[in-house]
Structure 1
Amino acid sequence: MRAEAAQPVWRRDEVSAYYEAKTERLLQRYGPGPRVHYHSGLVDGVPPPGAPRAALRTSIHAAQEALMMELSRAVGRFPDGGDVLDVGCGLGGGALYWAAEHQARVTAVTNVPSHVALVRGFAEAAGVGARVRPMLCDALSVPGRAAFDAVVAVESACYLPRAEWFRRTRALLKPGGVVAIADCFLRRPELAAGFNRYWRTNIGSLDEYLSAAHAAGLELEVRDDVSSRVVGFWSLTLELMVHERASASAHLTQHPLRALAQAGRGESCRAHLRLQQALMDGSLEYGLLVLRRAD
């Protein structure tokens, strides 16, 4: 696939509205914070079934933190105290990680208006408010030039037009700076439409990413396929969703609107199962990429 071939399936304002609408549900599942992640995690082995809800939430958060640590190890030479751009920062868990664990000065970019105050509040609660600057901004419009040691995109590059984003990202990097990506990559093209429809993404293949990155002046330094370690994370998430559905079921007869929400959770479970199966059979790859600015 040519670098310019992958065009967004969803407009970015639609993606913003989607996450704005589900913010409360994300906080209920992944909160209370302050380090709230909304992305995959790494689990070694298959988690045993039957864990209580509180234990599942703890395990999910630990797995998400493990992903951040693995991405940090992949980056390798990133200097503590450097300048980091967190692209599509979500609820700020990653930004807080870089600020707390690496003393980084983090610009946390989101296109979801309500998330700016949430990230700021979580950063203050975690004691890193002075090092985390949330910014309401499109990822393609971040101001500056040669401003960052690292640009991090955890499950956010899949929403962006890669060629344009990589060009802008290279301009934002200091000489020798890196782009660190954690995301799903497409191996079977026929899965793209269904994946994009549910997740509101613009999923691409690894070849498409690397072609666009190379054209922008970014060279591959690390590629790590961690698909097998992500499979167990979705087992944890699916089991937590079973707990959530059971809790909601008790109120369905009294609250018809909750029945609609329950139907949505059924669709969500099916989408999560399809994702897990695709990771298991090799239709999708979950990978870590580190790209360095070529000077």
Structure 2
Amino acid sequence: MRVEPPRSEARHDAVAAYYEEKTERILRRYGPGPRVHFHVGLVDDVPPPGEPEPLVRERVHASQEALLAELARAVGRFPDGGDVLDVGCGLGGGALYWASAHRAWVTAVTNVPSHVELVRTFAEIEGVGARVKPMHCDALAVPGRACFDAVVAVESSSYLPRAEWFRRVRALLRPGGVLAIADCFLGRPELAAPFDRYWRTRIGAVDEYLSAAHAAGLELEVRDDVSGRAVGFWSLTLELLAHERYSTPGQPPSRVLARSESRREHLRLQQALMDGGLEYGLLVLRRED
């Protein structure tokens, strides 16, 4: 089990700056919205290379929404019409999904200041402005007690100190409430450093999560390994990277280098999901009392 590093404001600010800098690229690749997702999708049928770029983008978006639908199914009875906290909401795609598909009242938390207004704008376009409340806030400092029926964390838990965060989640959940996590988990220790360095995370093994969750008073209900279905997502994103390379010639060397690094890391992650070095999984944990 890896020991979590101490939490630091400098690191918190660095992660926020990382996503602030990536905002325009996220919008170009996964936009235009209003539901803009920046996370893995689930793919059951990968098309052959060479599909037109608009169709690849449609497949990527559909796969990302399929992940959210699968997470809702893992919960069993998602609290339709309930109060939901979306931790690390990004540009709000998930928050809009819960508000639209499940009539939830969503508090969407982000550590990137500029994303608050983007989420608010996208929610208005989607027609769920009254149901989505974006908030610039540290995930460990969300105010309230026993005020949410569900807390959802799609690829945000790997940025957080698990023990401290699980204790805060338990305090925020109403009795019987659920924590639903979709994230990448560590399979082999030697992959932690390169993964954390590129994605700015603090990845952990499933056993570490479950130990910390149990200590905080959250009990496991579902563990679902969907790595096989996540592999295809990276094939789609690699196809998108190829389209971007050919559609935007003459870019500065720094951008070419960044795209090359992105392709290398996408391939590394895809291989690790196939050979067990990493696991993409869904966890559902419940506060019982």
Specify the TM-score bucket, using the shorter chain as the normaliser: over 0.9
Q: Report the Cα distance in structure 1 between the residues aligned to 2:133 and 2:39, rounded to whole angstroms.
A: 21
Deviations 1:125-165 (A, max 9, x none): 00000000000000000000000000000000000000000
Question: What is the DSSP-based 3-state SS (H/G/I as helix, E as strand, rest coil) of the residue aligned with 1:130?
Answer: coil
Matches within 5 A, 1:97-246: 97-246=97-246
Letter in 2 for 1:251: G
Give the CA deviation at 1:45. 3.2
Give the CA deviation at 1:77. 1.7
Paired residue for 1:275? 269
Give the CA deviation at 1:79. 2.5
User: What is the aligned residue count?
Assistant: 287
Q: Report the Cα distance in structure 2 between the residues aligned to 1:238 and 1:209, rounded to whole angstroms.
A: 30
- Picking from 259, 269, 293, the partner of 2:253 is 259
TM-score by length of 2: 0.97
- Asked if structure 2 preserves the Cα contact closer than 8 Å seen for 1:146 and 1:175, the reply is yes
Q: Report the Cα distance in structure 2 between the residues aligned to 1:242 and 1:221, rounded to whole angstroms.
A: 40
- Asked if structure 2 preserves the Cα contact closer than 8 Å seen for 1:47 and 1:235, the reply is no
- Asked if structure 2 preserves the Cα contact closer than 8 Å seen for 1:111 and 1:136, the reply is yes
- Asked if structure 2 preserves the Cα contact closer than 8 Å seen for 1:224 and 1:289, the reply is yes
Question: What is the DSSP-based 3-state SS (H/G/I as helix, E as strand, rest coil) of the residue aligned with 1:16?
Answer: helix
Q: Report the Cα distance in structure 2 between the residues aligned to 1:78 and 1:43, rounded to whole angstroms.
A: 22
- Asked if structure 1 preserves the Cα contact closer than 8 Å seen for 2:184 and 2:281, the reply is yes
Q: Report the Cα distance in structure 2 between the residues aligned to 1:77 and 1:27, rounded to whole angstroms.
A: 32
- Asked if structure 2 preserves the Cα contact closer than 8 Å seen for 1:87 and 1:109, the reply is yes
Letter in 1 for 2:72: S
Paired residue for 2:68? 68
Question: What is the DSSP-based 3-state SS (H/G/I as helix, E as strand, rest coil) of the residue aligned with 2:123?
Answer: helix
Q: Report the Cα distance in structure 1 between the residues aligned to 2:47 and 2:222, rounded to whole angstroms.
A: 28
Q: Report the Cα distance in structure 2 between the residues aligned to 1:184 and 1:45, rounded to whole angstroms.
A: 21
Question: What is the DSSP-based 3-state SS (H/G/I as helix, E as strand, rest coil) of the residue aligned with 2:250?
Answer: coil
Question: What is the DSSP-based 3-state SS (H/G/I as helix, E as strand, rest coil) of the residue aligned with 2:224?
Answer: strand
Q: Report the Cα distance in structure 2 between the residues aligned to 1:217 and 1:266, rounded to whole angstroms.
A: 44
Unaligned runs of 5+ in 1: 253-257
Q: Report the Cα distance in structure 1 between the residues aligned to 2:29 and 2:85, rounded to whole angstroms.
A: 26
Question: What is the DSSP-based 3-state SS (H/G/I as helix, E as strand, rest coil) of the residue aligned with 1:224?
Answer: strand
TM-score by length of 1: 0.95
Paired residue for 2:284? 290
Matched, 1:6 2:11: no
- Asked if structure 1 preserves the Cα contact closer than 8 Å seen for 2:116 and 2:134, the reply is yes
Letter in 2 for 1:175: P
Give the CA deviation at 1:11. 1.0
Q: Report the Cα distance in structure 1 between the residues aligned to 2:112 and 2:234, rounded to whole angstroms.
A: 25
- Asked if structure 2 preserves the Cα contact closer than 8 Å seen for 1:84 and 1:105, the reply is yes
Question: What is the DSSP-based 3-state SS (H/G/I as helix, E as strand, rest coil) of the residue aligned with 1:185?
Answer: strand
Give the CA deviation at 1:48. 1.7
Give the CA deviation at 1:78. 2.3
Deviations 1:61-86 (A, max 9, x none): 00000000000101112221000000
Paired residue for 1:36? 36
Q: Report the Cα distance in structure 2 between the residues aligned to 1:267 and 1:80, rounded to whole angstroms.
A: 41
Deviations 1:263-294 (A, max 9, x none): 11100100010000000111100000000003
Question: What is the DSSP-based 3-state SS (H/G/I as helix, E as strand, rest coil) of the residue aligned with 2:170?
Answer: helix
Letter in 1 for 2:250: H
Q: Percent identity?
A: 75
Letter in 1 for 2:280: Y
Q: What do you get for the CA RMSD once the two structures are aligned?
A: 1.2
- Asked if structure 1 preserves the Cα contact closer than 8 Å seen for 2:79 and 2:150, the reply is no
Letter in 2 for 1:98: W
Question: What is the DSSP-based 3-state SS (H/G/I as helix, E as strand, rest coil) of the residue aligned with 1:36?
Answer: coil
Deviations 1:220-275 (A, max 9, x none): 00000000000001000001001111222x224xxxxx221111110010001000
- Asked if structure 1 preserves the Cα contact closer than 8 Å seen for 2:46 and 2:236, the reply is no
Give the CA deviation at 1:52. 1.0
